[in-house]
Chain A
Amino acid sequence: MPLSSTLRPLIVLALISVVAMVISVSIGSSAMELGQTLAVLTGGGTELQQTLILDLRLPRTLSAFATGGLLAVAGALMQVLLRNPLADPYVLGLSGGAAVGALLAMLAGVAGIVVSGSAFAGAMLATLLVFGLAHGTGSWTPSRLLLTGVVVASGWGALITLILAMTPASRLPGMLYWLMGDLSHAGTPAPALIILVLVCLLVFPLGRSLNVLARGPMQAAALGVSVRPLEWLIYLLASILTATAVTMAGSVGFVGLVVPHMLRLVLGNDQRLILPACALAGGGLLVLADALARVVIAPEQLPVGVITALVGVPTFLYLLYRSR
């Protein structure tokens, strides 16, 4: 595939993402004209408008973009790793581990950075647990990894229910919002954005190897791919991406499953194109979903996970129905 035909869809997706971000920072409890928004973004506007956009809405919008991008790339990587179209960033129990970490911190009555740290620790613990168990005494195969992940995930599910049952009613809403994915406590977006950009730069040269790996490990090995190191690397990268996203926004569903599939239906299966496209489309989608989540029942906010599922499910089903 020539470079130009790779770049064109990426440029289109990048433009869409920028438009989504401008829309996202313009709307909210006090809506702003597009001209005013652009003026603020280029350094003008009143002090109030500057605070509103640059200090409140822009960080949240960038967090949404980073979260969506991370989840979509992680989903695309997991689908290649497990050679299973149903794989998503959470399939191996990562979000369960993160949720248990976060909820335990909330149950203990702490907030903010401790909850995030605890969620990240939970996600990485879940990763190591699944990987260690799936490795077991024999070799690990995608189906063994998948089964181990699914079983461990139901274990986390039981723990989550247990924690919710033990929690005083006054603390329940915060926990439920976290479980459905919520960007209102996302914090600074910079680390997640940096991780997203770094991983995209790293996986681009790996893209063709991933294309070969999608045809099965034996075929990949026969075509010169060092299969085992590549699989470890993808697993590690996908885990870090997911853990970062979950830490910022709780478990936002459907982005990681739906975005890679939508893009594959439209753009084909070249991972060199799909992975960066996932970062842009996943990011743009979550920015729009978060904007909707802020205005649908304003001044109250919906968890963004509700929107991604409500929008993602019918869109995906329609594309699947229409596909070849």
Chain B
Amino acid sequence: MTDLTTSELIIDIPDRPSGQPLNLSVEPGQVWGVLGPNGVGKTTLLHTLAGLRQPRDGQVLLDEQPVTRMKRKQLARHLGLVFQDRQDGFPATVLETALIGRHPWMMPWQMETQADVDLAEQALEALDVIHLRDRLVHTLSGGERQRVAIATLMTQAPGLWLLDEPTNHLDLHHQVATMGLLTGQAAAGHTIFMCLHDLNLAARWCDHLLLLYPGGEACWGPSQSMLVPAALEQLYGQKLVTVEADGAPVFVPAR
């Protein structure tokens, strides 16, 4: 169980005024979506939450400990991050890539056990890439690699999942399957916190939203109260048409 809170957090984006400090409280079982236009700092926020970047001001607390003071290995047992882009370095198979997720749980001299392999295979199964098990990652399509990256996070099995555009490159079916998997993980007691570009995926699957505006303002809260067409139009600088479909609001950009 991992509680994530930020106190007076201001992320550090060079040459930009500080804007409004964030005081988030993210609890297990919640699915958070971060929305905002390009360059607003969604990725920087995720990296700051993961302790990979120093904030300009304020703190990120994981179970009341500042993340910047925690040991990286300890931190990696509590939170994991799916990056927007990946380096492949040297060729590796899909299974080897997923197994990397066990790293924070193993002592330096330990080799992966059958239990670790089983965990990795379950994750590959859940992301529908088990049939690619022995393929080299760099030979896969963008969407397949994205699913392998999420499977690696699932193998890491942290309490808090940070994901930078997890539905990037995914086809429609796998977008829905992935969002279903993530909300399922939240229901099982994990915390999901992700940046999204697709307003409608956020509206449909996230129970909390954080809107980051270009000027540095921000607002956050339960999805119902955040999905106000006027606020979203201001967020993207884009007129929207709202329709009701499948029991949820759907936002379509107006011409």
Contact = CB atoms under 8 A, between A and B. Distances in A.
Chain A complexes with chain B: yes
Interface of A: 1-3, 6, 79-80, 83, 85, 204-206, 208-209, 211-212, 214-216, 218-219, 221-226, 264, 268-270, 272, 324
Interface in B226-244: none
B76 A222 contact: yes
A214 B108 CA distance: 16
B52 A214 contact: no
B191 to A, nearest CB: 16
B92 A269 contact: yes
B179 interface: no
B91 interface: yes
Interface in B93-108: 93, 96, 100-101, 103-104, 106, 108
Given A211-B100, A215-B100, A205 B109 contact: yes
Contacts of B92: 268-269
21 contacts: A1-B111, A83-B89, A85-B90, A205-B109, A208-B103, A208-B108, A212-B103, A214-B90, A215-B87, A216-B89, A219-B87, A222-B50, A222-B83, A223-B80, A224-B104, A226-B71, A226-B72, A269-B90, A270-B96, A272-B111, A324-B91
B176 to A, nearest CB: 26
A215 B86 contact: yes
Contacts of B106: 208
Contact of B52 (A6, A221, A268, A269): A221
Contacts of A215: 86-89, 100
Contacts of B50: 222
A214 to B, nearest CB: 4
A6 B101 CA distance: 20
A221 B87 contact: no
B91 A269 contact: yes
Interface centre among A209, A214, A219, A225 (most CB of B within 10 A): A219
Nearest to B103: A223
B73 interface: yes
A272 B112 CA distance: 12
A272 B75 CA distance: 24
Given A3-B111, A223-B156, A209 B87 contact: no
A88 to B, nearest CB: 15
A83 to B, nearest CB: 5
Nearest to B109: A205
A62 B96 CA distance: 36
Contacts of B101: 223
Contacts of A214: 89-90
A223 B97 CA distance: 12
B155 to A, nearest CB: 10
A218 B81 CA distance: 10
Contacts of A219: 83, 86-87
Interface in B14-54: 47, 50, 52
B42 to A, nearest CB: 16
B136 interface: yes
Nearest to A227: B72
B109 A224 contact: no
Contacts of A268: 92-93, 96
A216 B86 contact: yes
B76 A223 contact: yes
Contacts of B81: 222
Contact of A224 (B75, B91, B96): B75
A232 B86 CA distance: 23
B133 interface: no
A2 B136 CA distance: 20
A205 B106 CA distance: 11
